[in-house]
Structure 1
Amino acid sequence: MPCSWYQAIPAIIDLVLLDKPQSILDLGAGFGKYGVLLREAGDIPYERYDRNNWGLVIDGVEGFRSYKNPLHEYVYNEMIYGDVLTVVKSMVKEYDTVLLIDVLEHLDKESGYELIDEILQITNRSLIISTPIQWVEQGAYLGNELEVHRSSWSMVDFADYDYQFSQVKIGNNGANLFKLYPTVIQRKALATVKPLKLAYFLPHHNLTGGLKMLLSQMDAMRKRGHYITALYKGEEGDFVLPSWCRIEVDEEILIPHNQLARDYADDCDVIVAGWIQQVLELKGAKAKVVYWEQGHEWLFGDVRNSQQIDLIRRQMETYYTSGVDVMSVSRFVERVLMARYNLQTTVIPNGIDTTLYCPPAQRNEEEPVTVLLIGNPTLSFKNFPTAINVLQILWERGHKFQVNWVSQVRPETNVGFPLKIIVHPSEEVLISYYQQADIFLYTSWYEGFGMPPLEAMACETAVVATKCGGIDDYAVHDFNSLLAEPEDEEKLIVHMESLLMNEERREYLAVNGRKTAVDYNYERVIPKLEDYLLSLLGSKVSP
């Protein structure tokens, strides 16, 4: 049930507070009782009564969406609805303390152990488990089959873990309380994987967000000790890597157009396709083939030529049901692939180098507020007309600001406010514009992940954005960003106006945004990718 024995509350709260946590994850949150109690214990006594001043991060995961209630939205920084094991596997964020209160008995033993092992990899201090002392038969609750009891747990079941144990007797039954401590082996296991030979099949050389992230992933994997080969189809004399990229790889292979890429990576463990249309060419390769789906117009049903809809839908069906293993860049993309192609995928998010994307040593406080736009105006889903209209209205209301627009091509627009256009800058220059900005405005209709807002957060720039899908994995309204529906222009104006007029609020969002970005540092993301690739190969972590 979405509740638990109230008699165990004092003992559980004491176990949590002994950790002196700054972040807590409540798995199987149910009604939200422990979120309320821990918020009261961790924030309210310290005169942090207002939600905007809370210092303790409390996130939750609930497997049954019908349990959603106002407590979830108010008390928790973020509440994720989905299968607990699946959500934990996709997490890159780490927590000081994780709660698993009256959840374990709802899983079979094998799944329970798998969940514990996954949790310990994202736990800094302890995992606190409560489970009934004696087996109790329990069926579904309000149609929720997740409430069925499937296992019982005792001290001997935790012999392979470092833990402490206590009990709270309640009548003829009670609660077994286990506090598990992550060991060095559990915390560092993913950092000791055996080196892999990976071939990345590049789809083009255009400067796009998708290719930029693929190249960044290649660079991060090579820095972890893996052997990276770049594959590219082109004419004799062509470069394999784009001229604008700065990464190095171990091997570059130029493939003639009339030959198959699969024949050029026989000695690799895994071939990573850079675009879904490449998977058929790679079918039959000796290496394992995987595709990292970052999202594209066709995947989201955005086909501008109605005459091509049926053809493109058939092609996409062929590609995604070809048997290739697919990773999703976000839970949004994961949901789309499941709905369209019944394709189960593992979420491997984008990573970011927070040593490069970082706050400036000092901002120029004397200049007018600077607003930053980033993206290609020729892509309609970027929805730049809304951004321009919002800024124009704000200017006409008397607000003063400078707008910088970084783009791959020069936008054709006439505006009444100061606008500087920066075309195709180097990464160093791009970062400098993030660092100069006070507000980053992002108005896309949809995004598979949405990297620019995270880059802005890393540079401690306040973010105003639309709820465009992938951004939901890291953007939390009124914590690290201000969010609005894509069509709600008035709400975007309200958000922008509040930040233009309130430097303190900008700073609050910016500081929390930086904390969020650090959770997506490559040091935390890449081990998830390594674990996934090794699981495909049936490999184990090296001793």
Structure 2
Amino acid sequence: MKLVIPVLSLETGGTRFIYQIANEMAAKGHHVEIVLPEHAVVAWPLRTQITRVRELTPATIPAGDFILPNFWPTVFPAWGAQKGRVVRLSLGFEPLWVKEKENALATYHIDAPILSISQWHRQIIRQETGRDSTIIPGGVDLSLFHPHPKKSLMANTGPTIAYILRSKEHGYTWKGSDDFWEAIRITAQSFPHFTLQIVAPEGAAYPSPLPYQPIVATTDAELALFYAQADIFVSTSYFEAFAMPPLEAMACGTAVVTTDNGGNRDYAKNGENCLVVPPSDIQQLSQSLLHLLTQAQERQRLAQAGQHTAQAWTWRHSADRLEQFLFQLSRN
């Protein structure tokens, strides 16, 4: 079958889902065409056809068996094109954070099936629109995201905490970065003997309560090494449709402390394979960090359990689910 996926860009963050699922569907023998504006950034190693157009309009959307618009501005151009069956792929319920809430909400009411990426995401869409969706979960590339030697063991230093800092100035207001800094400040008062490493995709450089090492991770291989060399990975989002970084860190054999952001409930089990705290609960977050910093055996237990969990969350499994869903639509 031919799949057409219109996108605004393919940069960092949630667009990883698109590039991974597109590559997997292409590997399964399907013709996948990504169409995007002529100056849009493509940061991922796509193995599909890429078509650049002046802008996304019904006239510039290519024909396909299925057209999978995702971020809300791509939906109505795809729907108006009438060049294939539209399936509304939602990578996050946009009315939760975009300014154009009513326009974004309207894209969920076209007469097209909806794909969500977690149980929580599905529930939010149903709650806000009255419409059900089919879950195509996110995944992790196990060929890249796997354990490496820990920096703390190689250098015989204290544990390393890793964090991805998303810029509020770029619209990432739900990532909880201020909560992270405050929890780190509190934690350091009781246990200062740790190293802090930060990846900042947008180049954000906020005042920190203690020194940290900035890490450049522009490729999956660099990001995997960042996760794997750390002893603890922290995620502080208020909400996420799926939340891939904690799962990727688990695959790399790193203990995870994460907020209960909704989308990670499908794989994150508190006390079993990670530690889960309520969003914005700085006290619990700092207590969890302190617990793992001072309890090496517990840290190792959670890291091993997390790595075991991640083995089931492959992109091939995600592509299998999508393929099965689209074949079923074809028969109806």
1:199 corresponding residue in structure 2: 4
- Report the AA paired with residue 336 of structure 1: I
1:418 partnered with 2:211: yes
Q: CA RMSD in A?
A: 2.0
Q: 1:349 to 1:459 in 2, by over 3 A?
A: same
Give deviations 1:456-494, integer Å, cap 9, x for gaps. Answer: 000010000111110111100001110111122111111
How many Å separate the matches in 2 of 1:491 and 1:482?
10
How many Å separate the matches in 1 of 2:266 and 2:251?
15
How many Å separate the matches in 1 of 2:150 and 2:79?
52
Write the mapping of 1:179-258 to structure 2, written as runs, cut at 5 A. 196-205=1-10, 207-234=11-38, 238=39, 242-249=41-48, 251-257=49-55
Larger radius of gyration: 1
- Report the AA paired with residue 220 of structure 2: E
- Report the AA paired with residue 260 of structure 1: P
* Greater strand content: 1
Higher relative contact order (CA 8 A, sep 6+): 2
5+ long unaligned stretches in structure 1 = 1-195
1:513 partnered with 2:306: yes
Q: 1:349 to 1:281 in 2, by over 3 A?
A: same
**Equivalent of 2:144, from 351, 356, 363?**
356
1:277 partnered with 2:73: yes
Q: 1:399 to 1:295 in 2, by over 3 A?
A: same
- Report the AA paired with residue 533 of structure 1: L
Q: Which runs of 4+ in 1 moved over 3 A?
A: 361-364
- Report the AA paired with residue 92 of structure 2: G
- Report the AA paired with residue 445 of structure 1: Y
Q: 1:418 to 1:229 in 2, by over 3 A?
A: same
How many Å separate the matches in 2 of 1:510 and 1:424?
22
1:76 corresponding residue in structure 2: none
Q: Secondary structure at the match of 1:353?
A: coil
Give deviations 1:34-61, integer Å, cap 9, x for gaps. Answer: xxxxxxxxxxxxxxxxxxxxxxxxxxxx
Q: Secondary structure at the match of 2:238?
A: coil
Identity in percent = 26
Contact kept, 8 Å, 1:410 with 1:421, in 2: the verdict is: no
Give deviations 1:219-260, integer Å, cap 9, x for gaps. Answer: 1111122111111133xxx47xx44322221x3222233852
How many Å separate the matches in 2 of 1:333 and 1:523?
21
TM-score (norm 1): 0.57
How many Å separate the matches in 2 of 1:506 and 1:499?
5
Give deviations 1:30-86, integer Å, cap 9, x for gaps. Answer: xxxxxxxxxxxxxxxxxxxxxxxxxxxxxxxxxxxxxxxxxxxxxxxxxxxxxxxxx
Contact kept, 8 Å, 1:369 with 1:438, in 2: the verdict is: yes
Q: 1:294 to 1:472 in 2, by over 3 A?
A: same
Write the mapping of 1:131-530 to structure 2, written as runs, cut at 5 A. 196-205=1-10, 207-234=11-38, 238=39, 242-249=41-48, 251-257=49-55, 259-260=57-58, 264-266=61-63, 268-284=64-80, 285-296=82-93, 298-300=94-96, 302=97, 312-360=100-148, 364-365=152-153, 366-378=156-168, 379-423=172-216, 425-530=218-323
How many Å separate the matches in 2 of 1:258 and 1:394?
48
1:68 corresponding residue in structure 2: none
Contact kept, 8 Å, 1:279 with 1:324, in 2: the verdict is: no
How many Å separate the matches in 1 of 2:217 and 2:239?
23
Q: 1:496 to 1:362 in 2, by over 3 A?
A: closer
Contact kept, 8 Å, 1:410 with 1:423, in 2: the verdict is: no
Per the TM alignment, residue 343 of structure 1 is displaced from its structure 2 partner at its CA by: 1.0
Contact kept, 8 Å, 2:258 with 2:276, in 1: the verdict is: yes
Q: 1:318 to 1:370 in 2, by over 3 A?
A: same
Contact kept, 8 Å, 1:232 with 1:254, in 2: the verdict is: yes
